[in-house]
């Protein structure tokens, strides 16, 4: 039927422009009004269509009418919804928040270290902070008259008791209590009688110990390189330098390529391009003898690191004292 499509299109266009109920009603009257409605008019003119075409034309006109009616109903319903909607809000207002807590950066880094070693099959062992000379020194091949005692200034508590200077006594306690294989890390607080910008009288260590048949320095290197890459990133370079600890032999210090300059030399690495991050070595036979292990039958490695050092490197903290001052402007950054 001539004009039906055009009328329907115009009705829908007018409806699209209608912004309130009155305008929608106007569209209804325009299209479907009893007297002057355009679609109504077209339906009336069906009588002029030849009888053989009439059913098809009537059908088309009815469907167009239904579509326009449905569109009108939809528009009205939407309109009604809009009129009962909630007033708008300022979505840029700050959210209502419960107070934000946080873990201390030392806790976060210690957990990262622990997690890496636990995933390598190490378990976590703990021991007392107050120790005796036997566990802290003698069993670790550091007799009273050895110059190596000077490496660690000690807080004494009277008699044989002292604040542990490292978490190594936990290694002794573990070996005294168990037979190999042993594969554990020992996190904890340690104490040294030393206090300045780069030394705190209390700090945190994570040490590790692995004892079994046929453990070699190559295993030690492999484990620590795996740790350093997990902690500092997959492209971390590491180097092992000979060093001395009374309780390991051979002993090594481990450097990583400077995290700040990448090895070119800067203030952080004092121009060397390397940062010392770990001490380690093969467990000294004298240590095994002190816990009743036969050094011909078992070998092992041990390592230790300062949590403060790794924390400072991870978060680019340039003054260790910040870690113990608990300034809110510092803690709020973690």
Partner 1 sequence: MKLTYRWIREWVATELTPVELAERLTMAGLEVERLEALGHGLADIRVARVRSTRKHPQADRLTLCEVEDGTGLIPVVCGAPNVRDGAFVALAPVGATLPNGTQIRKAKLRGEVSEGMLLSEAELGLSSNHDGLLLLDGEPAPGRPLVEALGLDDWVLDISLTPNRSDCLGVLGIAREVAALTGAALTPPAIALVESGVAAAEAVRVEIEDVAGCSRYAARVVRGVRVGPSPAAVRWRLAAVGIRSISNVVDATNLVLLELGHPLHAFDLARVEGGRAVVRRARAGETLLTLDGVDRTLTAEDLIIANARAAMAFAGIMGGEVSGVHDDTVDLLLESAHFDPITIRRSARRHGLHTEASHRFERGTDPVGLGTALDRLAQRIVELAGGAVAPGVVEAVARPHVPQRIRFRPERARAVLGTTISDEACVGALDAIGIAVDPATFEATVPPWRPDITREVDLIEEVARIAGYDQIPAETADGVVLAGAGPGAAAGAQRVELARDVLAGQGYREIVRLAFTSPEVVARFDYPDGRAEPVRIANPLGEDTSVLATTLVSGLVETARAQLNRGATAVRLFQVARTHRRAGGKWPFREIESVAALGGGAQGRGAFPESTRDCDFFDLKGTLEILLERTGIKGVAFRPAADLQYAEPGRAGEIWCDDRKVGELIMLSRRLLGQLGIGLDLYAFELDLGALTPAAPPRYRSFSRQPVALRDLALDVPAALAAVEIERELARAKWVVDVELFDVYQGEGLAPGRKSLAFHVRFQHAERALTEAEIAGALERVLGDLEASHDARRR
Please name which of 238, 199, 206, 226 lies closest in space to residue 324, comparing C-alpha atoms: 199
Q: Does position 218 bind partner 1 by CB under 8 A? A: yes
Q: Does position 199 bind partner 1 by CB under 8 A? A: no
**Two structure tokens written together for 61:** 């006109």
Binding characters for partner 1, 263-302, by CB under 8 A (x = yes): -------x-----------x-xx-------------x---
Sheet holding 299-306, edge to edge: 123-124, 182-191, 202-212, 299-306, 274-283, 248-257, 238-245
Q: Does position 120 bind partner 1 by CB under 8 A? A: yes
Q: Does position 52 bind partner 1 by CB under 8 A? A: no
Show contacts with partner 1 in window 72-101 (CB under 8 A). Answer: 93-101
Q: Does position 152 bind partner 1 by CB under 8 A? A: no
User: Residue 35 or 329: which CB sits closer to partner 1?
Assistant: 329
- C-alpha 225/C-alpha 218 separation (Å) is 10
Q: Does position 323 bind partner 1 by CB under 8 A? A: yes
What is the nearest approach in angstroms of partner 1 to the Cβ of residue 124? 5
What is the nearest approach in angstroms of partner 1 to the Cβ of residue 107? 6
Distant-in-sequence, close-in-space partners of 216: CB < 8 Å, separation ≥ 6? 282, 299
What is the nearest approach in angstroms of partner 1 to the Cβ of residue 98? 6
User: Residue 28 or 173: which CB sits closer to partner 1?
Assistant: 173
Give yes or no for a cis peptide into 250 (omega within 30° of 0).
Answer: yes
What is the nearest approach in angstroms of partner 1 to the Cβ of residue 305? 17
Q: Does position 38 bind partner 1 by CB under 8 A? A: no
Q: How does DSSP classify residue 171?
A: H
Q: Does position 126 bind partner 1 by CB under 8 A? A: yes
Tokens 């003054």 belong to residue: 319
Q: Does position 47 bind partner 1 by CB under 8 A? A: no
What is the nearest approach in angstroms of partner 1 to the Cβ of residue 174? 9
What is the nearest approach in angstroms of partner 1 to the Cβ of residue 86? 18
Contact yes or no for 220/280 (Cβ under 8 A): yes
Show contacts with partner 1 in window 6-35 (CB under 8 A). Answer: none
Chosen residue from 39, 75, 139, 163 binding partner 1 by CB under 8 A: 163
Stretch that binds partner 1, among 2-10, 23-31, 45-53, 213-221 (CB under 8 A): 213-221
Tokens 């007392």 belong to residue: 128
Show contacts with partner 1 in window 175-194 (CB under 8 A). Answer: 181, 183, 189, 191, 193
Query: Which 3 state secondary structure label does DSSP give 186?
Result: strand
User: Residue 4 or 186: which CB sits closer to partner 1?
Assistant: 186
What is the nearest approach in angstroms of partner 1 to the Cβ of residue 111? 7
Please name which of 171, 129, 203 lies closest in space to residue 301, comparing C-alpha atoms: 171
Residues contacting partner 1: total by CB under 8 A:
86
- C-alpha 275/C-alpha 238 separation (Å) is 9
DSSP of 23-70: HHHHHHHHHH-TTT-HHHHHHHGGGGS-TTTHHHHHHHHHHHHHHHHH
Q: Does position 251 bind partner 1 by CB under 8 A? A: yes
What is the nearest approach in angstroms of partner 1 to the Cβ of residue 151? 7
Please name which of 215, 217, 213, 193 lies closest in space to residue 203, comparing C-alpha atoms: 193
Rounded (10°) angle between helices 105-119 and 307-315: 110
What is the nearest approach in angstroms of partner 1 to the Cβ of residue 102? 5
Give yes or no for a cis peptide into 2 (omega within 30° of 0).
Answer: no
């Amino acid at each position: 039927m001539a004009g039906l499509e055009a009328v329907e299109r115009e009705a829908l266009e007018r409806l699209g422009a209608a912004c309130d109920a009155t305008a929608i009603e106007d569209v209804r009257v325009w299209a479907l009004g009893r007297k002057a409605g355009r679609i109504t008019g077209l339906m009336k003119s069906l009588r002029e269509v030849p009888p053989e075409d009439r059913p098809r034309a009537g059908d088309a006109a009815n469907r167009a009418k239904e579509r326009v009616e449905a569109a009108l109903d939809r528009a009205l319903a939407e309109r009604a919804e809009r009129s009962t909607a909630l007033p708008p809000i300022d979505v840029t207002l700050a959210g209502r928040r419960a107070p934000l807590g946080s873990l201390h950066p030392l806790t976060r880094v210690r957990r990262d270290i622990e997690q890496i070693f636990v995933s390598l099959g190490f378990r976590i062992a703990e021991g007392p902070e107050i120790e005796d000379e036997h566990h802290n020194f003698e069993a670790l091949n550091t007799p009273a008259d050895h110059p190596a005692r000077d490496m660690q200034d000690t807080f004494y508590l009277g008699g044989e008791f002292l604040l542990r200077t490292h978490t190594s006594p936990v290694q002794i306690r573990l070996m005294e209590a168990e037979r190999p294989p042993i594969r554990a890390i020992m996190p904890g607080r340690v104490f040294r009688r030393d206090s300045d910008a780069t030394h705190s009288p209390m700090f945190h260590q994570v040490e590790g110990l692995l004892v079994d048949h046929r453990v070699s320095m190559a295993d030690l290197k492999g484990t620590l390189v795996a740790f350093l890459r997990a902690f500092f990133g997959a492209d971390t370079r590491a180097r092992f330098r000979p060093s001395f600890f009374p309780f390991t032999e051979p002993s090594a210090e481990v450097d990583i390529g400077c995290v700040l300059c990448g090895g070119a030399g800067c203030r952080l690495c004092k121009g060397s391009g390397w940062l010392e991050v770990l001490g380690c070595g093969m467990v000294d036979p004298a240590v095994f003898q002190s816990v009743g292990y036969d050094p011909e039958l078992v070998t092992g490695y041990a390592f230790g690191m300062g949590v403060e050092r790794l924390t400072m490197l991870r978060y680019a903290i340039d003054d260790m004292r910040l870690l113990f001052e608990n300034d809110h402007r510092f803690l709020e950054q973690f």
